[in-house]
Amino acid sequence: MQSSELRTRILEYIAYLAASARNSIEEPHIYGSFRLIDAISRLINLLKYIPSVKEDSFLEELKKFIDAKKYVMMFNTQEYLAFLDEVVLKVVRELKKQTK
């Protein structure tokens, strides 16, 4: 990938974060949570465009999990909270594996 294309993708990610920060002021609070979890998915996707970053099966599975469940926020708050808890647990477990 050309460095200009990578720069464009990074700028798009930054634009998403900046717009999310602005919108979170006026949106319902739960949308901020959604935007953060979506940002994780977008960041994992962005990594594949960085040549020095190797493919990571944990991150790919985490992205799939997030993308499959993130929209439950619109229909069931309790299920969404359980989903967020599961994301946290998955990441903490992976961190613990890495630090052993």
What are the tens digits of pLDDT across the range 42-99?
999 999 989 899 999 999 999 999 999 999 999 999 999 999 999 999 999 999 998 8
CA-to-CA distance for 60 and 74, rounded, in angstroms?
Answer: 24
Nearest to 43 by CA among 23, 60, 18, 65: 60
What residues make up the domain containing 35?
3-99
What is the pLDDT at residue 2? 72
What pLDDT, on the 0 to 100 scale, is given for residue 4? 85
Is pTM beyond 0.85? Reply is yes
* Model pLDDT for residues 12-31, shown as the tens digit of each residue: 999 999 999 999 999 999 99
Give me the number of domains the chain comprises: 1
pLDDT at 1 > cutoff 80:
no
